[in-house]
């Protein structure tokens, strides 16, 4: 195809972009400058202050506005004659169905979560529209091409499970700062400012609790006339003092571990906080709750400064006071969840995590470092986003030209490999074991007499298979369905089925049964072969069921209690051949002309830090990479 024909195909193409964030902004700009005339953008997010350092289509005046709309308006200023349509909506909304996707020549993803990526992948397969997938993590990035029947789909290969931590480690025996962050964010913050009725180990009381406290007292409940300083100290003493003493009472736990130190407010805080630090009423915060901060009250300015125990304790109390002074008035207390863009929430979680870390002899971290961990983020690099956006457009042009022999998966590396920072790899053909694009049956081991249909729907169909509007059938019997067109009788029947064990359903599901599970919105259908199993290991198999053939691998190091949200993708594994860089894999490539004896051996090189983190557009590439010898 000559240059004129190529330009004609670009100008005549109708492109769908999903995501208008870090990659999306760069991608929209590059598409417009490359000659694309008809672009549609879907993004449900609004602009945050933290976006402005890398999402260059946005300005401070745009904070709070739709990303998709502002990005569209920004690009139309320098390309006013092209057609850009924005949708401030969730790509999983019913209006974005298979027929909607069919109108496009190619779909370009710049998403930030696995669930949405899987959803778009399935819609592209159903609509037979090519998909170009992408992601970045700091200096790492990747772009992959997915064409139905020719290359693997997004779900053909394993997506290692999010980094998880056992609940007992978080609540009783933390050894890393991330354990303290998870405790402060998912347990303490949620208990204080979220649903106080949730049951967690923070309610434990020591045997020698204050004589004025009854064992049945809910320490987290604040009385109407209770002084806020007194309440803050009570919480402080409870979680950092009494609960630590309670943990120390179990001598067996600490035989081979470092014993933690109980910390009480009287040891580190002045007698009268309000006189020393001023009143929260005089806080200089604006009306925007996300900018309220305890730091100015305490003379703290640098987020990269390492606070000591006293400073962390002061921030803890002041942040708690500000939450009740500022957020209770608008009815948010009791309904809050942690948000990394909420300055006060980050300050509170940082302070709480550092106090707990001090107690357990774990090195403290700055606010800047703690925010990165609490938000499961690796700080974004704008240059990586720009490089990946350019690679997306290059692959999109190849797709429009139908030049399948030149499709490439391209990996951006942090350090040069054979003097290259961009590693192109031939795409792989579809995985015959993929339940999404190859319709391979799954196997579910489950106790059919004890497990309810609700367990199967919640833990397997929705959580693992990612179906939004599921339908479950056993033979010709419809066991469960979701939809707006169901009458009251049908809804009642399906709800009743949810509470029945599998073997007690109208069409009993027993050993050897084959279930059909469908999602009509995604036009996805798969078979599940049921295998009855009596017992499960509560620690290794906490869900009480095991799904085989599913493309997500087990949790790292056998840990099972999920407390963080980050997702990760396969590590880069490179070999060298006479025809250029290739991915080391047992999978067959689209073209298999490379003789085996041309391939060199590889050596696994592990980094010191194997923690997996996620940023706005995660590739989820582990820091533990395999590199060419």
Buried b (16+ CB within 10 A) or exposed e, 441-470: ebebbbbbeebbbebbbebbbeebbbbbeb
- Cβ pair 472, 515 in contact under 8 A: yes
Instruction: Look up 156 and say whether it is catalytic.
Output: no
Candidates 124, 153, 156, 168; catalytic one: 168
In DSSP terms, which residues pair with 109 in a beta bridge?
18
Any residues with CB less than 8 A from the CB of 483 and at least 6 apart, and which? 469, 520
Cα torsion through 574, 577, 581, 585, rounded to 10: -40
φ, ψ (nearest 5 deg) of residue 627 = -120, 160
Handedness of CA 365, 368, 374, 380 (dihedral sign): negative
- Cβ pair 521, 542 in contact under 8 A: no
In DSSP terms, which residues pair with 87 in a beta bridge?
42
- Cβ pair 144, 590 in contact under 8 A: no
Q: CA angle 87-92-97, nearest 5°?
A: 85
Strands 106-109 and 131-137: parallel
Give the span between the Cα atoms of 239 and 219, in whole angstroms. Answer: 10
Q: Which of 72, 63, 2, 5 is nearest to 38 (CA)?
A: 72
Question: Can you read off the two tokens belonging to residue 565?
Answer: 């949200």
Give the span between the Cα atoms of 442 and 541, in whole angstroms. Answer: 18
Q: What positions carry a catalytic annotation?
A: 168
């Amino acid at each position: 195809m000559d240059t004129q024909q190529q330009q004609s195909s670009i100008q005549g193409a109708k492109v769908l972009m999903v995501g208008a964030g870090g990659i999306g902004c760069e991608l929209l700009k590059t598409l417009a400058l490359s000659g694309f005339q008809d672009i549609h953008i879907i993004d449900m997010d609004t602009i945050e202050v933290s976006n402005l350092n890398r999402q260059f289509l946005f300005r401070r005046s745009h904070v709070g506005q739709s990303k998709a709309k502002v990005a569209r308006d920004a690009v139309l200023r320098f390309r006013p004659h092209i057609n850009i349509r924005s949708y401030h909506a969730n790509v999983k909304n019913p209006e974005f169905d298979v027929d909607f996707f069919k109108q496009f020549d190619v779909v370009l993803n710049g998403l930030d979560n696995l669930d949405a990526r899987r959803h778009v992948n399935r819609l592209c397969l159903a609509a037979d529209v090519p998909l170009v997938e992408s992601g970045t993590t700091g200096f790492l990035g990747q772009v992959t091409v997915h064409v139905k029947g020719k290359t693997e789909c997004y779900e053909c290969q394993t997506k290692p499970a999010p980094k998880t931590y056992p609940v007992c480690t978080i609540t009783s025996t933390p050894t890393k700062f991330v354990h303290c962050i998870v405790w402060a964010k998912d347990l303490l913050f949620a208990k204080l400012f979220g649903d106080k009725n949730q049951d967690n180990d923070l309610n434990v009381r020591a045997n020698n609790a204050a004589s004025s406290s009854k064992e049945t007292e809910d320490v987290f409940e604040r009385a109407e006339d209770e002084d806020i300083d007194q309440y803050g100290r009570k919480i402080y003493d409870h979680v950092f003092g009494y609960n630590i003493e309670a943990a120390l009472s179990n001598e067996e736990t600490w035989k081979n571990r470092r014993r933690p130190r109980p910390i009480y407010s009287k040891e580190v805080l002045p007698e009268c906080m309000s006189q020393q630090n001023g009143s929260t009423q005089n806080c200089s915060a604006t009306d925007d709750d996300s900018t309220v901060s305890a730091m100015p009250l305490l003379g703290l300015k640098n987020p990269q400064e390492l606070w000591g125990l006293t400073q962390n304790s002061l921030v803890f109390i002041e942040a708690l006071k500000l939450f009740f002074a500022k957020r209770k008035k608008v009815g948010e207390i009791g309904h809050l969840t942690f948000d990394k863009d909420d300055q006060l929430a980050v300050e509170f979680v940082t302070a709480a995590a550092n106090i707990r870390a001090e107690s357990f002899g774990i090195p403290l971290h700055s606010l800047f470092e703690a925010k990165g961990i609490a938000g499961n983020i690796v700080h974004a690099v704008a240059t990586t986003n720009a490089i990946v956006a350019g690679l997306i457009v290059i692959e999109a042009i190849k797709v429009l030209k139908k030049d399948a022999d030149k499709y490439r998966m391209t990996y951006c590396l942090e350090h040069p490999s054979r003097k290259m920072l961009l590693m192109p790899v031939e795409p792989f053909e579809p995985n015959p074991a993929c339940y999404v694009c190859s319709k391979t049956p799954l196997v579910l081991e489950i106790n059919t007499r004890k497990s309810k249909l609700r367990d199967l729907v919640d833990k397997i169909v929705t959580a693992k298979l990612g179906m939004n509007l599921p339908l479950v059938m056993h033979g010709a019997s419809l066991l469960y369905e979701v939809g707006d067109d169901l009458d009251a009788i049908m809804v009642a029947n399906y709800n009743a089925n949810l509470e029945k064990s599998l073997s007690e359903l109208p069409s009993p599901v027993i050993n050897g049964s084959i279930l059909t599970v469908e999602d009509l919105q995604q036009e996805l259908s798969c078979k599940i072969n049921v295998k009855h199993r009596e017992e499960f290991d509560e620690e290794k198999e906490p869900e009480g069921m095991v799904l085989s053939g599913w493309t997500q691998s087990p949790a790292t190091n056998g840990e099972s209690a999920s407390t963080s949200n980050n997702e990760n993708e396969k590590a880069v594994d490179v070999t060298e051949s006479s025809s250029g860089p290739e991915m080391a894999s047992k999978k067959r490539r689209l073209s298999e002309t490379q003789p085996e004896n041309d391939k060199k051996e590889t050596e696994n090189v592990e980094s010191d830090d194997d923690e997996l983190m996620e940023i706005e557009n995660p590739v989820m590439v582990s820091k533990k990479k395999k590199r060419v010898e």
